[in-house]
């Protein structure tokens, strides 16, 4: 069944629900497994014909387990190589495919379930990248699900594996378990109180990696940070899940303390910051994607601290993603250049935050 982008654009994926444990600070929990078919070269040495064959084999196998109802949820199968650029960018913004899959060449695809909890990428850096994503802090469930999914696919193919090194991957950084366990955290108060660098340094000491919202660079967008395991060899999947799980409550605690400190020591400044952010988002006539992320971050914290009462967290979560360039264009149903997007973004924000330019001082 082809993916209906218009339907998907209107919907809100699993990780935007804003539910699940600790979801005021933990946006989402995600686990990814890297797998390769034993009888093909890795992607770097695969010929275009190899890639086509790999895609065909994996597509057929995934479709078969989906048809046999073994696969949880109904899958949408998308041929990424045939998608226009804006649709590929849309899937990246939605975190359903990686930038690498979007931007590479040759046969490649993704299978997505309708709730946007599972995604299986074919011919990314590895032949298979299986991903499970949950709202809030819920790594144990995510692991149980991805483990089962991995078994289901493995029933029908032979993975590249050896006894000593485990699952063999294109990059030695993933070899062994091939697992990447990550949580996305919203840490605005640690950024405002300038404690975030200290937190990063301590995470790096225990071999955890930290990245910004959409991956590249160290500068996080909108105070969102993704924490993940760096090591994949020598520890079991459960141990790695635990390693990431164990550090999250500590970070949540730091962030809560920083928020309490701000409320206690500079209530007016904080309230002013949040209200100004809200005011701009409800009234701007043109606004960039960077400024939007930055302001939405303050609003999100304001809602969680009870400083703003008339917006719900799922709405704010949704706005983070729906104001990204590709989403805006899908929602508007047309291509927009950068300055038109800024106008459309401002109008979208006004519509969804109940601001019209008129009732701005109204709480």
Partner 1 sequence: MKCQKCDKKATFHITDLVDGEPSEVHLCEDCAQAFLAPPADDDASDVMPAMAGLLAQQLAVGETAEELARLDKQACPVCGITFREFRKQGRLGCPHDYVCFADELEPLLLNIHDEIHHVGKVPKGYGANAEQQTQLIRLRREMKEAVAREDYEEASKLRDEIRAIEATRDAPDPSGENA
Q: Based on the shown chain and the rule CB under 8 A, indicate whether residue 5 belongs to the binding site for partner 1.
A: no
Quick note: the x/- pattern for partner 1 over 27-46, rule CB under 8 A, is ---------x-xxxxxxxx-
Strand partners, 5: none
Give the one residue of 17, 180, 259, 282 binding partner 1; rule: CB under 8 A: 180
Q: Convert residues 114-133 into a mask of x (bound to partner 1 by CB under 8 A) and - (unbound).
A: -----------x--------
Q: How many residues bind partner 1 (CB under 8 A)?
A: 55
Q: Which is nearer to partner 1, 210 or 307 (CB)?
A: 210
205 scored as a contact of partner 1 (CB under 8 A): no
Pick the piece of the chain touching partner 1 (CB under 8 A) from 224-232, 288-296, 328-336, 351-359: 224-232
Residue 57 engages partner 1 in binding (rule: CB under 8 A): no
**163 touches partner 1 by CB under 8 A:** yes
Query: Which H or E run contains 297?
Result: helix 289-304
Of residues 58 and 311, the one with the C-beta less far from partner 1: 58
Q: Is 327 left (phi over 0), alpha (psi -120 to 50) or beta?
A: alpha
Regarding 343 and contact with partner 1 (CB under 8 A), the answer is no
Taking the C-alpha atoms of residue 93 and residue 91, their distance in angstroms, rounded to an integer, is 5
Number of H helices, E strands in the chain: 12, 10
Q: Give the Å distances, CA to CA, from 342 to 248, 286, 320, 347.
A: 35, 5, 14, 9
Q: Which residues are annotated binding-site positions for ATP? A: 28-32, 129, 180-184, 211-216
Of residues 5, 77, 100, 294, which one binds partner 1 by CB under 8 A? Answer: 100
Contacts 24+ apart (CB under 8 A), 267-271: 270/305, 270/307, 271/307
Binding mask 232-251 for partner 1 (x = CB under 8 A): xxxxxx--------------
HEC string of 155-197? CCCCECEECCCEECCCCCCCCECCEEEEEEEECHHHHHCCCHH
Asked if 170 interacts with partner 1 (CB under 8 A), we say yes
In the complex, minimum distance from the CB of residue 226 to partner 1, in angstroms, rounded to a whole number: 10
Give min distance, CB of 157 to partner 1, in A.
Answer: 9
The C-alpha atoms of residue 352 and residue 10 are separated, in whole angstroms, by 13
Contact segment (CB under 8 A) with partner 1 among 9-17, 161-169, 189-197, 335-343 equals: 161-169
Distance CA 120, CA 349 (A): 32
Burial class of 7 by CB neighbour count within 10 A (0 to 12, 13 to 18, 19+): exposed
State the Cα torsion 323-324-327-328 to the nearest 10°.
Answer: 50
Question: Could you tell me which residues are annotated as the binding site?
Answer: 28-32, 129, 180-184, 211-216
State yes or no: residue 159 binds partner 1 (CB under 8 A).
Answer: yes
Place of tokens 């007016």: 268
By beta-carbon proximity to partner 1, the closer residue of 145 and 232 is 232
d(C-alpha 325, C-alpha 332), whole Å: 11
The nearer residue to partner 1, 3 or 37, going by C-beta atoms, is 37
Q: Which is nearer to partner 1, 42 or 261 (CB)?
A: 42
Cα gap 333→45, rounded to integer Å:
39
User: What are the tokens at 98?
Assistant: 């990686």
Q: Does 77 bind partner 1 (CB under 8 A)?
A: no
Residues that bind partner 1 (CB under 8 A): 36, 38-45, 47, 49, 98-100, 103, 125, 147, 150-151, 154-155, 158-168, 170-173, 175-177, 179-180, 207, 209, 211, 215-216, 228, 230-237
């Amino acid at each position: 069944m082809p993916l209906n982008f218009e339907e998907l654009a209107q919907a809100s994926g699993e990780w935007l629900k804003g539910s699940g444990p600790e979801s005021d600070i933990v946006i989402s929990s995600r686990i990814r497994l890297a797998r390769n078919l034993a009888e093909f070269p890795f992607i770097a040495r695969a010929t275009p014909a190899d890639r086509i064959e790999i895609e065909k084999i994996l597509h057929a196998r995934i479709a078969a387990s989906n048809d046999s109802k073994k696969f949880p949820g109904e899958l949408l199968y998308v041929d990424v190589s045939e998608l226009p650029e804006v649709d590929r960018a849309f899937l990246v913004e939605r975190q359903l495919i990686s930038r690498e899959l979007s931007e590479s060449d040759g046969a490649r695809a993704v299978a997505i379930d309708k709730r946007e909890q599972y995604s299986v990428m074919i011919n990314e850096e590895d032949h298979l990248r299986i991903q499970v994503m949950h709202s809030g802090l819920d790594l144990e469930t995510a692991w149980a699900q991805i483990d089962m999914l991995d078994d289901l696919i493995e029933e029908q193919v032979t993975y590249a594996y050896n006894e000593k090194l485990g699952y063999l991957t294109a990059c030695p950084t993933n070899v062994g378990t091939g697992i990447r366990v990550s949580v996305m955290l919203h840490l605005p108060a640690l950024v405002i109180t300038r404690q975030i660098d200290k937190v990063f340094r301590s995470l790096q000491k225990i071999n955890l990696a930290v990245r910004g919202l959409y991956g590249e660079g160290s500068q996080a967008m909108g105070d969102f940070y993704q924490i993940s395991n760096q090591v994949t060899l020598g520890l079991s999947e459960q141990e790695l899940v635990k390693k990431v799980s164990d550090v999250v409550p500590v970070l949540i605690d730091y962030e809560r303390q920083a928020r309490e400190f701000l409320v206690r020591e500079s209530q007016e400044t904080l309230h002013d910051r949040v209200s100004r952010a809200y005011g701009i988002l409800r009234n701007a006539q043109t606004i960039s994607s960077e400024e939007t992320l930055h302001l939405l971050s303050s609003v999100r914290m304001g809602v969680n601290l009870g400083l703003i009462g008339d917006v719900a967290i799922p709405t704010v979560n949704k706005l983070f993603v729906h104001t990204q360039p590709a989403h805006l264009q899908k929602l508007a149903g047309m291509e927009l250049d950068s300055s038109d997007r800024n106008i459309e973004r401002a109008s979208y924000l006004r519509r969804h935050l109940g601001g019209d330019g008129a009732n701005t001082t109204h709480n």
